[in-house]
Amino acid sequence: MVSIEEFSVRGRLADTGEGITADELQLAARNHGLPLESLRYDVTPPGLHYVLVHYDIPATNAGDWRLELGGCVEEPVSFGLTGLRAMGRRTIRVTLECAGNGRAALQPRPISQPWLSEAVGTAEWTGVLLSDLLRQAGIREDAVDVVFTGADRGVERGVVQDYQRGMSITEAIDSGAIVAWEMNGGPLPPQHGYPLRLVVPGWYGMASVKWLRSIELIDHEFDGFQNAVAYRIRKDADDPGTAVTRIEPRALLVPPGFPDFMSRHRFVAAGPVPLFGRAWSGWAPIERVEVSTDAGVNWHEATLDAVGNDELAWRAFAYDWEATPGEHVLTVRAYDASGREQPIEADWNRGGFANNTAQRITVLVT
Ligand SMILES: Nc1nc2c(c(=O)[nH]1)N[C@H]1C(S)=C(S)[C@@H](COP(=O)(O)O)O[C@H]1N2
Ligand SMILES: [Mo]
């Protein structure tokens, strides 16, 4: 009989000119992006927010849900939903983005969820600060990393696992991470982690473990699959690489006009065209957004909305374009206060992570 290892698929790169495979299509049909016109909402309605699920959405129940907090703590604690709600209630606005956003545009294409540029969303998450839970249990002196485990189980590259991510206790606390039971004022939808999930502001989505059932403090650096193998920026298979952490800056426009069904090329009438979009970074607030309507030859500074209370959540930007007849390529790029900026040419890596190359939209002005 064939083993789990042999039955599981290895990571690979698409061959030159190889189209989207049936495996990629299957992933793309389960996980979905934010339709770019939904960038118009300050807070993304659930259902329009992107979704990424590695395995299956587990069958879960708020009534008997337990969150176990243990390991290097003074006193292990087990929380039910009612107990957690009694510990406090905090709502934060967070822009989440999948680390694989932009993957499908890389050449050669890493075979995995084939995101273009829309794996993003901004929601208001309500829950309790992770630091409050840790304080209640008491962080022991030997504690180094905190490991979050979800209720979903799967196989990746031959390794059977529960979805699990670790981060240093300092990073987890400093990020302002919360354990959330509400999204936009309602219970978490099943696909977003019902009944309980972690939300780590500023970090790529993989850190925000859904269907959260356990938090464990350990006395060493976590070396589980999602930290040590999966989410690493590597140039080749043998490169140990560096960890994927915070979200790189990105700006996205709401594509103007109306689309061609198949190509999604745009049609716009000549004259004034208000361009609108959102920009975000997990490192620092967005400082500047530039718009080009001639494929990056000339750049114009967009007007930016004020930074809100949650300073890493996306900021709106606008630019008034005087559209002249002919074909135009619109492109935008964001700069953040840490000095990071969006590249025009992609910097390739084997997992297809953090490709924040500037968006390009082809428009025919008539
Ligand atoms: N338990 C669990 N948590 C998870 C995942 C998962 O597959 N299982 N996917 C992660 C990834 S890769 C991303 S990008 C975000 C997506 O969150 P969303 O679907 O709520 O947008 O959830 C993260 N948390
Ligand atoms: Mo992701």
Q: DSSP characters for 339-364?
A: S-B--SS----TT-----PPEEEEEE
Counting atoms of ligand 1 from 1, which one is nearest the CA of 193? Answer: 20
Domain that holds residue 281: 250-365
* Cβ atoms of 69 and 78 closer than 8 Å: yes
Q: Are residues 220 and 325 in the same domain?
A: no
279-306 pLDDT, tens digit per residue, is 999 999 999 999 999 999 999 999 999 9
Residue with tokens 């209630």: 89
Tokens of 144: 């180094």
- Verify that 267 and 147 share a domain, yes or no: no
d(CA 162, CA 164): 6
pLDDT score, position 348 = 97
Query: What CATH number has the domain bearing residue 145?
Result: 3.90.420.10
Which residue's CA is minimally distant from atom 16 of ligand 1?
52
Residue 94 and residue 224 in one domain: yes
Boundary-marking domain end, from 191, 215, 243: 243
The string of pLDDT tens digits covering residues 264-281 is 999 999 999 999 999 999
Q: What is the pLDDT of residues 221-273, one digit of tens each?
A: 999 999 999 999 999 989 999 999 999 999 999 999 999 999 999 999 999 99
Over residues 39-49, mean pLDDT: 97
Show which of 194, 211, 243 is a domain's final residue: 243
Per the DSSP assignment, residues forming a β-bridge with 301 are: 290
**Same structural domain for residues 219 and 265?**
no
Task: Supply the DSSP string of 112-133, one letter for each residue.
Answer: SS---S--EEEEEEEEEEHHHH
Same domain, 202 and 347: no
Ligand 1, from 34, 52, 200: best to mutate by most atoms within 8 Å of Cβ?
A: 52
Q: How many domains does the chain have?
A: 2
Q: Examine the domain organization and report whether 297 and 352 are in the same domain.
A: yes
Q: Which atom of ligand 1 is nearest to the CA of 151?
A: 1
Contact at 8 Å (CB) between 226 and 206?
yes
Using a CB cutoff of 5 Å, list residues around ligand 2, an ion: 52, 98, 205-206
3-state secondary structure of 5: helix
Task: State whether 187 and 313 are in the same domain.
Answer: no
Mutate to test the pocket of ligand 1, among 206, 211, 225, 231 (most ligand atoms within 8 A of CB): 206
For 351-366, how does the pLDDT look when each residue is reduced to its tens digit (9 = 90+)? 999 999 999 999 999 9
Q: Are strands 300-301 and 258-259 parallel, antiparallel or unpaired?
A: unpaired
Shared domain for 146 and 266, answered yes or no, is: no
Does the beta carbon of 58 lie inside 6 Å of ligand 1? no
CATH number for the domain harbouring residue 254: 2.60.40.650
Q: Is 4 exposed, middle or buried (0-12, 13-18, 19+ CB in 10 A)?
A: exposed
Ligand 1 atom index nearest CA of 53: 7
